[in-house]
Every structure is written in structure tokens, then in C-alpha cells.
Amino acid sequence: MAFLKQIEQKWQRKWEEAKIFEADPDPEKPKCYITVAYPYPNSPQHIGHGRTYTLADVHARYMRMRGYNVLLPMAFHYTGTPVLAMSKRLADNDQDLIDDFINIYKVPEEKLKEFTDPFKMASYFHKEIKAGMKAIGYSIDWRREFTTIDPHYNRFIEWQFQKLRQKGYITRGSHPVGWCPKDGNPVGQHDTRGDVEPEIGEFTLIKFTYGDWVLPAATLRPETIFGVTNMWLNPEVEYVKAAVDGQKWIISKESVQKLRYLNKKVDVQKTFKGRELIGKEAENPATAKSVLILPADFVDPRNATGVVMSVPGHAPYDYVALKNLAKASAELKEYGLTSDMVAAVKPVSIIAVTEYSEIPAGDVVKQMGIETQLDPKLEDATKEVYRHEFHSGKMKPSTGKYAGLSVAEAKDKVKQDLMTEGKAETMYELLNKPVVCRCGTECLVKIFEDQWFIDYGNPEWKAIVHKALSKMEILPEELRAEFDYVIDWLHEKACARKSGMGTKLPWDPEWIIESLSDSTIYMAYYTVVIHIKKHEIKPKQLTDEVFDYVFLGIGKPAEVAAKAGINVKVLEDMRRDFTYFYPLDSRHSGRDLVPNHLTFLIFNHTAIFSEELWPRQIVTNGSVTMQGAKMSKSFGNIIPLIEGIAQFGADPLRMGILATAELLQDADFSPTLARSMQDRLERLYRFGEEIARVGEDPKATRDLTLPDRWMLSRLQEHIRMATEAMDKLAVRKAIHSGLYELDQDVQWYMRRAADQTENLHRKEIVDYVLSQVMDAQVRMLAPVTPHLCEELWEKMRGKGFVSLTSWPKPDPAKADVKAEEAETFIASTLEDTQNIIRATKTTPKKIHYYVATAWKWKALLTALQKSVTAKLAQNELMKELMTDPVMKREAKSVAKFVGPITDEVKKMSAERKQRQIQVGEVDEVMILNDAEGFFGRELNAEILVYSEEDTKRYDPKNRAQLAKPYRPAIYIE
């Protein structure tokens, strides 16, 4: 471990001295521009954060080795509530947070006192995070570092917002937003605990009436109003009679505050228990029919208004609730109701769907075996009915003028009509509540007035974004549908706040642009910030004209430069760097940023830049769990990144995070895993050191034996697999090919080669083969464990840095199917023999092998040929074989052989068939004789090999006739 630490520091220093990760335009080389979301410096990073950044770094290192001029920059996101809220919590003496900072993250107590100033806190963690990124060995070009509150960056964001506004993508008005009532601010994903995006649903409030009172029932399916059979109220909760915008409403007590935030004027007049209305009748505003108000303890007063309409024909919850209630006669009696009265409430069918009978809810409930309202399957049942009805349902004649419409059409039309007639309103509500603000307050929906929005609801803009997405590579591809969904679903997003650090809205400086809105196109800024720093350009020199020229190519450089007071050469360099590195080749982030940041990034790029500059790829990854559990402070299982590096070493940590999971899976980390990675890498190091010492002998290639050719051939296959995996960033798979599977082959090779290394020339050959393996292995592992690989590379006398050398290419000249099949034959023969020895519990002295005769080979190869061109049939195979005079003579034996061989060939994979056809007849006698020393050593017995047709063979039990191609008969004495 100590030596790993030394190696890390040594190579980090050398990389820095040689400036090998500083990327400038190089017209000779193709470029590859990779970025990863810059971090909020509001707390130290832990191992969970490490995954996204490590993956981006591995990607950058891989592309560098593939010959690209790679740029991987980094900056820090000081903007908005993530930093501010953390600082506020400290100012409020939040003891949990203070304990975490002191105990988990080891922040000095006197430092902590300064953190009530958000800037001081951000600066502290900025340094801390940066030190961690260096210590883990990220290949970042640090010359481009900035923070989002740098005045130069502010100018860039101001320019971006002016552009958005000119294009008509900025709106001002009243819109529903997720809202923290305590902070008085809109909330997005980065403002909430657990990073949940508040999802706003638009419910229709249908105004049922009870005397002169309105019972507003919230629904997402207004078209089902015609199927309402009853209402549900919770008898045990408190409802209020209130004047709502002058109308008399009955609603749950909990809904009062929510309605006020939706800009309704609510005057509560009286509070009462729901039970008072049970058994009474309400009127359906669409049909004027009376419906019974029934008791339901499942009605949650916190959901919408706490008043619920019941549609048992099409809503599984209602269907089951009615069934259950009909049986609860004792309870019903309290309200003067009877089971018969409830049983008389029959589901009404209003939508025809081919998949179901009259009553879809009843069908699904029966299919799924649902008995009670508490059954979690009800959620699925509801979705399933809705899916079918929405997809293929048609409104029935019982719905009057809506008859014949699709459900999708009826849904909008019914709602519109009810609203126009004053029988319904809209109510916004969080669909995924509870959503809790970082300050600890539960969020709700507010109609936010006179607010600035980015209009992600604009349909023409959405169409462009869909087009951009369709041209992008999404890794893993299965997330593409989620992006399309988010693009459709997004609506106006509040883009400014009145508090926090950041850039002021250029036309309304009371407002500060919030953190998900000032982080969408900053990848462009990295390409030019280097010149801004180097030439000490002042913020006010960065005029809109300057950015217009640099990023959009608008204007004449000499004029723009003169007006801004910037050297024209510098201005042109900025333009050159931007056009060299843009478009962005790859964006990395956690998958939780799909619904906001990553989609906003596509939106904003299409708004600002021309089509050829839109991003090309997005890579998302899952999270990290700790020994199977979610990482969380309450579980006490968070390991700060800095501590992880100190404890396990940078390379084992990098490997530990990436070797256990593919992109979307959660990676499970544990100290045991990290330590096993340490052991594994130390072993690799010692082995490599050994090989490196001997060097390679080019003359050795002349005398390669079977195991040598096999090892070199396998190596090409592992290189091919690892390359294919890395191209899709399936890093786990690449590590498996390049490390674990390759090592298994090396183990086998060493066993096979062992007896031959006595001979000096043989030893040179084995060393040559192993040095070939090592050379490729070190290159393949370099992106993941760069420090160790640099050290080995140096020991192997590699040229320059392994970080800058080329990724290995499979050499087709070294691929050798014959050698691979022959070794497979040796391995399976050894295994068969060991199985027999184990089963018979003998200690063998002599082992006799009998290999299959020539006609058996011919039979097998004929069967293989036939099976690839057509369906293999035993009788046809036999017919064909009988045309051969040799076979004809052996007809009886052939007939016995054809059955089993047909079955075996049928079970073979297509690939295996091709390989065996390619290889043809194998000289098994020669192979086994050559491997005699190996078998003798492995089995500790004398080895004798005969051909089946050898008349002088020793075969007391007449075993030879059992021989098959690739499966010699075995006799043990």
C-alpha cells in the first residue's frame, strides 16, 4: 500500500510537470472534448460522487490513447440555493449538519464558523474537492478552471440570457412552480432533500354540489365523470366550509393553504368531521344525477381537496373499495346505511376497450387477485387500465355528445366544456410528494406571478430539441426514451431567484439566475476562458459583440476587437479554440440529471448554437451503494473521497467504483472490495515487474509452440473485447476482459509452459509471449488504474507516458483458431480425465488415451457442414456418409455414431460450429504427445496415446471404439 501511495504521488507530479493533460488546438490531431457536470462546492465529495467523475476521466484517458487530442476541464458551481441553503443551515445551528462536517468530513471547527458566509464555505470546499480530484488522478486541464461567480463568467451568462430573450425563449408571467413556503423561493431538484425534482400535476377539480355547497373533486381523468357512482369522504378527518373566490366550498382542512398558494382567496367559516356528510347525496354536475356520499378511510386529506369521486367501472381502487364497503355492515350502520344500499351502487361502463369486458376495473382486479384497498398491486392495476383505455378506448353512447371519441380526445374536451360552463377548475398539485426543501420544509405548488421563465414548453423549440436528441448518442441507449419523455413533459421553468450568488438577469437585476439555468452551455466557456485569464481581459471588455463573434462568428474581428479594446489576435484565437473543440463530444453526469440539467443542456445548445455545434453524446451512470445499502449520513456509511484515497489508494478506488457495475446499475462499494482490488493490483504489479526485467527477444517469434500461439491468439481476442466494451463505456466489461479473463488465460499458459522453461531458448520464448501480454494489459488498464500502469510502463522501458501511448490493437496475424481449438481440446481432455479419477477414487499409474479414427472426423465435419446450410437430419446424414466406401465398410459402427453426433452438433453454438469447420481434422495424437509432459505433471502418471485404428494398441477393456473427435476415450490403470 505504501508503495502504491508513492507511485501515485510520483506520477501525479510527473504529469503536472510535463503538462500532458493541457490541451490546445492541434490541427494534426482529431479532437475529443469531454466534460462532466461541475460540482457544487457545498460539501466535500464522497465515494458516490467519485463514480461520475472517474468514469469521465477513464473516458478521456481512453480517447487520448485512441489518438485524440482530449480536453477534460473542470469548474465550480457556486450559484444559488445549493450553496446558500447549506450555509443557512449552519447559520441556523443545524446540529446534524455541524456534526457531519466535523465528524465525517473533518472540517476544522474554527473554519466551520466562517461558513455562515456562503462564499467562504464555497471557497473552502472548492479547494478540498480540487485536491481530491488531483489525488485520484483525473486528467484535467486545470488552466481552464473558473467559478460561476467570476465576473467574466457572469458576462458570459448575461450574453446567453440576452440571446434566449431575443429568440423569444424567456417569458414573464404566472406559472405553477415547486415552492418552499419557508424560503419563499421556487425549488428545483437541486434545492430538495434527496435531490428530487418536484413534479407538478394538473388536476381537474370537478364541482359536485351538495345543496348550495360545492364539493370539488380532483381528478386526472375528467372524462370519467359520466361513470361516477358515488363520492368518497374520510369520516375521521376535518373538512371546512369556506368561501373560495366567493364560492361556497367544502374541502379538507389541509387543502386550504395549498389553494391559497394557487392564488385563491380562501375564508374558512366552519370546521367539521367528514362523517357529518356520509350518507348524504351530492349532484354530478355533468349528468345532474344524485350520488351517495360514502365513507372511505383511504381518502388522504393532504391529496388535492380531500374530496374524491368514485368511478368503479374504470378505477380499480374504487371498484375494490365499494366491494369491501358492502361487507362492512356494522360500520355502515353508524351512518344509517346498509350493505344492500352499497351493493346497489353498480359500476357504470362508459369506455369501450377491446381488451376488456364492460367493467375493465373489475377484470383487472380479478386477474391480479386483488382483495383489499391496501394491496400494492392496485397501483399497477390502475396504470394498466389507463394504458389500454388511453390507447384504444372509445367513449360509449352513455357519455352523450362525447360518444365515439377516443379517451385522449374526450379527456381534453370534457375538461374544456366543464370549465367553460363553470363546473370545473384546474388545481396544480405535486405528483411525487412529499418533496422536502433542503431547509426541511415540505414543498407545494405556487402560482408564481411576474416571474421570469425559460419557456421549455414552447412546442417549436421542443421539436428542434427532439431532432437534436435523435442525432446524439445516448449511453446507455435505453435512456433515450426518458429524454424524449422529459422534452415533452417540460414546461416553463422559473429561471431566477431573489437570493444566492450568481449572475444577475441583465434586464432586471433584482433577479439572480438560478443554478440549473446558468449551467447549460458553459462547456463553450471553457474553450475560451484560458485566453481571458492569460491576457487579463476585463469583464467589461467581454461585450455581447465579443461573444457573438467568438461563439457565433458574427461581425468583423478587427472592428469587434477594437471596440472592446482586445487584441484582435487574441479574439481570433478565442474563436479558433472554440471552433476547434466544439461541438462537445461527450457530456457525463449521474442519471438523476436527465429530467433537468442534461435536457436543459440540449435545449439551450439548440437555442444558442448552430446545428453543427450541438452536443454529440450524453453518458449517464447509476449511483454507488455501500455494502448493499444506500449511502446516507443516517446510515453512517459515507466515505469522503479524500479519506477513501488515503485508505485504499487512488487506483484501487477507481477500479473498485468501476469494476462492479455497468453504466446504469448501482455500483456496490465496500472496503473489502477496495482491499481486494489493492491485492489484485499489487499482484499484477509484481508479475509485471518480473516480466519487465527480462525484456523481449525478437528472435523468439520463430519457434512458437502450441501454447505460445494459443496465448497470443487469446490476447488478440481480449484486446478486441476490451476495445468493443470501451467504445460503449462498458468499463466493467473492459476490466473483465483486460484483467480477469486475460489473467485466467495467463494462469493456464503458465501451467502449460512450465515444463518447457528449463530450456534456455524456451524460456526466452515464454518471456517474449508474457511481455506481449503485459504490454497490452498495461495499456488496457491504463485508463482505469493510470498510476500503477505508468510505473509498470516505465519499468517495461515503454516510450514516454503510458497515458499518451496508443491503445492496443488486435493483430489479425496472431489470431490462431487452430491453436485455440487445440488448447480447448487439451483442457477438456484434462478435465475429463480428472473427473474419471475423482469418480473412481483411483490413484492412476498409467493413463491411456485413444483418439478417434479418420472416418469419425469425416462424419463430424459432414454433420457440421450440413447443419450450417440446412436443418440437420440423422437419416440424411447417414445416407450421405454411406456414399463413402470407407464408411460403407464400417456401416454398423457409423450407424451407431451418427445418432449421438447429430445431437451434439445440434446443441453447438453457431460460432463453435464455424470454428470447428474452419479447423477441420485435428491431429490429436500429435497434440497429446506434445502435451505429454504437461499431462504427466498435472495427473502425476505415465501418459500413453494411441489412435483408435492402431491394431497394436494396448486396450484391454476395448475402450478405443468410444473415441470421438475432440473427446478421446480414456483408460486408467
Question: 3-class DSSP state for residue 290?
Answer: strand
Q: Contacting Zn ion (CB under 5 A), which of 7, 437, 624, 725? A: 437
User: Interface with Zn ion includes 439 (CB under 5 A)?
Assistant: yes
Query: How many amino acids of this chain bind Zn ion (CB under 5 A)?
Result: 6
User: Interface with Zn ion includes 443 (CB under 5 A)?
Assistant: no
Q: What are phi and psi of 76, to 5 degrees?
A: -135, 135
Pairing mode of beta strands 473-475, 617-621: parallel
Evaluate the omega torsion of the peptide bond into residue 235 and state whether it is cis, within 30 degrees of 0.
Answer: no
Q: Would you say 787 and 137 are in contact if contact means Cβ atoms under 8 Å apart? A: yes
Question: 3-class DSSP state for residue 265?
Answer: coil
Residues in CB range of 201: below 8 A, 6 or more apart: 220, 428, 429, 430, 431
User: Interface with Zn ion includes 429 (CB under 5 A)?
Assistant: no
Q: Contacting Zn ion (CB under 5 A), which of 19, 182, 686, 889? A: 182
Distance between terminal CA atoms of the chain?
50
Evaluate the omega torsion of the peptide bond into residue 434 and state whether it is cis, within 30 degrees of 0.
Answer: yes
Binding piece for Zn ion, criterion CB under 5 A, among 100-108, 275-283, 332-340, 437-445: 437-445
DSSP assignment, residue 293?
E
Binding piece for Zn ion, criterion CB under 5 A, among 118-126, 434-442, 752-760, 889-897: 434-442
Letters for 115-144 (x = contact with Zn ion by CB under 5 A, - = none) are ------------------------------
Show the beta-strand stretches assigned E in 750-838: none
All 3 cell numbers of residue 31?
479532437
User: Interface with Zn ion includes 86 (CB under 5 A)?
Assistant: no
Give least dist CB 192 to Zn ion, A: 9
Residues in CB range of 667: below 8 A, 6 or more apart: 51, 622, 623, 624, 625, 657, 658, 660, 661
Letters for 620-659 (x = contact with Zn ion by CB under 5 A, - = none) are ----------------------------------------
Binding piece for Zn ion, criterion CB under 5 A, among 115-123, 176-184, 617-625, 964-972: 176-184
Q: Would you say 705 and 683 are in contact if contact means Cβ atoms under 8 Å apart? A: no
Give least dist CB 443 to Zn ion, A: 8
HEC readout, 152-212: HHHHHHHHHHHHHHHCCCEEEEEEEEEEECCCCEECCHHHEHHHCCCCEEEEEEEEEEECC
- Which of 26-55 are b and which e, b meaning 16 or more Cβ less than 10 Å from the residue's Cβ? eeeeebbbbbbbbbbbbbbbbbbbbbbbbb
Binding piece for Zn ion, criterion CB under 5 A, among 181-189, 613-621, 785-793, 835-843: 181-189
Give least dist CB 442 to Zn ion, A: 9
Give least dist CB 441 to Zn ion, A: 5
Q: Which is nearer to Zn ion, 440 or 920 (CB)?
A: 440
Binding piece for Zn ion, criterion CB under 5 A, among 179-187, 593-601, 735-743, 855-863: 179-187
User: Interface with Zn ion includes 385 (CB under 5 A)?
Assistant: no
Q: Which is nearer to Zn ion, 211 or 440 (CB)?
A: 440
DSSP assignment, residue 277?
G
Binding piece for Zn ion, criterion CB under 5 A, among 89-97, 317-325, 348-356, 432-440: 432-440
Q: Which is nearer to Zn ion, 501 or 542 (CB)?
A: 501
What span, in angstroms and rounded, lies between the C-alpha atoms of 939 and 213? 93
Q: Which is nearer to Zn ion, 92 or 923 (CB)?
A: 92
Q: Which is nearer to Zn ion, 442 or 955 (CB)?
A: 442
Residues in CB range of 505: below 8 A, 6 or more apart: 161, 452, 496, 511, 512, 513
Give least dist CB 432 to Zn ion, A: 17
Q: Which is nearer to Zn ion, 82 or 808 (CB)?
A: 82
Q: Which is nearer to Zn ion, 439 or 501 (CB)?
A: 439
Q: Contacting Zn ion (CB under 5 A), which of 441, 567, 579, 824? A: 441
Please name which of 29, 145, 149 lies closest in space to residue 525, comparing C-alpha atoms: 145
User: Interface with Zn ion includes 183 (CB under 5 A)?
Assistant: yes
Q: Which is nearer to Zn ion, 439 or 594 (CB)?
A: 439
Q: Contacting Zn ion (CB under 5 A), which of 4, 180, 365, 781? A: 180
Give least dist CB 510 to Zn ion, A: 20
Q: What are phi and psi of 566, to 5 degrees?
A: -115, 140
User: Interface with Zn ion includes 414 (CB under 5 A)?
Assistant: no
Give least dist CB 181 to Zn ion, A: 8
Q: Which is nearer to Zn ion, 180 or 658 (CB)?
A: 180
User: Interface with Zn ion includes 969 (CB under 5 A)?
Assistant: no
**Residue 760 zone, left/alpha/beta (φ > 0; ψ -120 to 50; rest):** alpha
Show the beta-strand stretches assigned E in 505-638: 512-513, 586-590, 617-621, 624-626, 629-630
Q: Which amino acid, one-letter code, is at 121? A: M
Give least dist CB 185 to Zn ion, A: 7
Give least dist CB 183 to Zn ion, A: 4
Give least dist CB 186 to Zn ion, A: 11
- Please report, as ranges, the residues that interact with Zn ion according to CB under 5 A: 180, 182-183, 437, 439, 441
